[in-house]
Amino acid sequence: MDIAALVYFRIMFGGILLVDVIRYFTTGWIPFEYIRLPFHFTYFGFSWVRPLPGNGMYYLFAVLGVAAFFILIGFAYRVSAAVFFVGFTYVFLIEESLYLNHYYFVSLVSLLMIFVPAHRKFSVDAKLRPWIASEFAPAWSLWILRAQIGFVYFFGGLAKLNVDWLLGYPLRLWLPRTLNIPVVSLFRDQVWLALFFSYSGLFIDLFAVPLLLWRKTRPYMFTVLSLFHLTNSSMFEIGIFPWFAAAMTALYFEPDWPRRFVAWAAERLGRKIAAAPPAPIAAQSRFRTATVAALSVYVAIQVLLPLRHWLYPGDVAWTEEGHRFSWRMKLRDKAGAAAFHLTDPETGRTWDIKPRHYLADFQYNEMIARPEMLQQFAHYLSVQATQPGHAPVQVRVETLISLNGRKYQPLVDPNVDLAAASVTLSPEPWITRTSQPRRKAVLRGNPF
DSSP string computed for 133-154: --SB--HHHHHHHHHHHHHHHH
- Tell me if 265 is assigned to some domain: no
Indicate whether 266 belongs to any domain.
no
Same domain, yes or no, for 150 and 118?
no
For 100, the domain range is 1-132
The kind and range of the H/E element at 17 are helix 4-27
Asked whether residue 260 is domain-assigned, the answer is no
- Give CA 198 to chain center in angstroms: 20
Q: 189 lies in a domain?
A: yes
- Count the alpha carbons within 13 Å of 367 in the hemisphere toward its beta carbon: 26
Residue 16, pLDDT score? 96
> Is 379 within the bounds of a domain?
yes
pTM of the model as a whole: 0.92
CB of 235 closer than 8 Å to CB of 179? yes
Q: What is the pLDDT along the chain (448 residues), one digit of tens a residue?
A: 999 999 999 999 999 999 999 999 999 999 999 999 999 999 999 999 999 999 999 999 999 999 999 999 999 999 999 999 999 999 999 999 999 999 999 999 999 999 999 999 999 999 999 999 999 999 999 999 999 999 999 999 999 999 999 999 999 999 988 877 777 778 888 999 999 999 999 999 999 999 999 999 999 999 999 999 988 887 877 778 889 999 999 999 999 999 999 988 888 887 777 666 666 666 666 788 899 999 999 999 999 999 999 999 999 999 999 999 999 999 999 999 999 999 999 999 999 999 999 999 999 999 999 999 999 999 999 999 999 989 999 999 999 999 999 999 999 999 999 999 999 999 999 999 865 655 554 445 556 5
From the list 87, 94, 114, 101, the residue with the least C-alpha distance to 21 is: 87
pLDDT of residue 448: 58
Last residue of a domain, one of 77, 111, 132: 132
> pLDDT at position 119, please?
96
Same domain assignment for residues 46 and 166 = no
Backbone angles phi, psi at 352, to 5 degrees: -110, 155
Rounded (10°) CA dihedral 307, 310, 316, 320: -70
Contacts of 278 (CB under 8 A, 6+ apart): 135
Write out the H or E segment, with its range, that includes residue 259.
Answer: helix 257-268
Please report whether residue 372 resides in a domain. Answer: yes
| Close Cβ partners of 427 (under 8 Å, ≥ 6 residues apart) | 312, 313, 321
* SS3 labels along 294-311: HHHHHHHHHHHHHHHHHH
Query: Last residue of a domain, which of 97, 132, 167?
Result: 132
On whether both 351 and 425 belong to a single domain, the answer is: yes
Q: Are 37 and 377 in contact (CB under 8 A)?
A: no
Q: Both 144 and 13 in a single domain?
A: no
CB-based contacts of 177-182 (< 8 A; 24+ apart in sequence): 178/235, 178/236, 179/235, 180/234, 180/235, 181/231, 181/234, 181/235
pLDDT at position 277, please?
Answer: 67
Pair 166, 304 in one domain: yes
Contact criterion met (CB below 8 Å) for 331 and 160:
yes
Asked if residue 374 belongs to a domain, the reply is yes
> Is residue 9 domain-shared with residue 102, that is, in the same domain?
yes
Residue 364: other Cβ atoms inside 10 A: 18
> ω into residue 170 within 30 of 0, thus cis?
yes
Same domain? 84 vs 178: no
CA distance 24 to 22: 5
- For 293, half-sphere exposure in the C-beta direction (CA atoms, 13 angstrom radius) is 4
DSSP string, 147-184: HHHHHHHHHHHHHT-SHHHHTTTTHHHHHHHH---TTG
Last residue of a domain, one of 272, 300, 324: 324
Q: Which of 239, 258, 230 is nearest to 10 (CA)?
A: 258
Which residues are paired to 339 by β-bridges? 398
| Distance (Å, whole) CA 49 – CA 93 | 7
CA pair distance 307, 322, nearest whole angstrom: 8
Q: How many domains does the chain have?
A: 3
pLDDT of residue 435: 54
- Shared-domain flag, residues 2 and 116: yes
Residue 350 lies in a domain: yes
Residue type, 104: Y
- Answer yes or no: do 221 and 353 share one domain: no
**How do strand 334-343 and strand 350-353 relate by DSSP bridges?**
antiparallel
Same domain, 176 and 315: yes
The side-by-side arrangement of strands in the sheet containing 394-403 is: 350-353, 334-343, 394-403
Cα–Cα–Cα angle for 78, 83, 88, nearest 5°?
130
What's the pLDDT at 171?
93
Q: Are residues 183 and 313 in the same domain?
A: yes
Same domain for 300 and 174, yes or no, is yes
H/E stretch holding 400: strand 394-403
